[in-house]
Amino acid sequence: MRGVVREVDVFARVAPAQKYEIVRAFQARGDVVAMTGDGVNDGPALKAADIGVAMGERGTEMARDLADVIVMDDDFASIVAAVEQGRALRANLQKALRFLLATNLAEVLVTVSATVVGGAQPLSALHLLWINLVSDVVPALALGMEPAEPGVMRRPPPAPGASLLSRSALATTAVDAAIMAAATLGAFGLTRARSGDGLRASTVAFTTLSAGQLLYALACRSEDRPGVQGLGDNRALVAGVGGMLLLQAATVLVPPLRAVLGTTSLGLSDLAVVGAGAAAPLLVREALKTMRPRPADGGRAG
């Protein structure tokens, strides 16, 4: 049977035992098998399949009891929609996780690098707390609300047991974190060398890292498409990033907030440094996307 399933696309008029054998033959090839059924004779195959799918309206009680999923409207289009939603949810979880790993690693790199060279710390404990509460949480939640990307159902499914983030994804995340950290440290060092004011340099570093993380969230929307493409489809991300940028601006504009966070007002030259440093992680990631081969959309839909 294992050799037959490689060559045959459609089986008709099969007995219950043959349905079971077909499921086992596909599993022996390493495939993940979903079996749909509605009758008692589908029971063995439903139980053997990785995902048993029973019909909710015309399915027998036995079929519903053995199944992992019950399609309440008996519409096969509902199965396709559920698979698409599942793939979108998995992709969004990957996006949010990569964003959080990159931003938190950047904070670690900034702190550790300053400690290793024996220089002043660019960020205070309050700065780090603010960044984790403002720059990290809201964009990560908004990334989880991304609509499914075009072609998601034409891409090959992930292998069974595959980790949520591949080695290449982790390497890309580390590169992005290093760029964010380098931009922050560069902004800090440049401002301190230019003005000799430690408080001003710390404020520039704090604003650069926080704003840079917020803009970086746009790059995390897709691994191959531009971050601004279809941005209006995720209004939560637009509102979240925009609102948090305004809140970050308040840390250098509102005197009571400046007093709490230990920041100072910034001049035009300082803002130019912040803008360049904050945009760097997004621009570099977008440039690297153009160098990657685009995924083939004609893969097995599985």
Q: Please compute the mean of the pLDDT values over residues 200-204 and round it to a whole number.
A: 95
* b/e code 146-163 from CB counts within 10 Å (16+ = b): bebbeebbebebbeeeee
Edge-to-edge order in the sheet of strand 34-37: 34-37, 51-55, 69-71
How many residues in total does the chain contain?
302
In this predicted structure, what is the pLDDT of residue 295? 54
Judge whether residue 114 has pLDDT over 60.
yes
Q: What is the pLDDT of residues 209-245, one digit of tens each?
A: 999 999 999 999 988 888 888 888 899 999 999 999 9
pTM: 0.84
**264 three-class SS:** coil
Mean pLDDT across the stretch 239-259? 93
Domains and CATH numbers, the chain: 4-74 (3.40.50.1000), 88-291 (1.20.1110.10)
Give the pair of three-digit tokens for residue 110: 């900034």
Residue 274's pLDDT band, with cuts at 50, 70 and 90, is very high
Residue 161 confidence (pLDDT): 76
Sign of CA dihedral 264, 269, 270, 274: positive
DSSP 222-235: -SSS-TTTTGGG-H
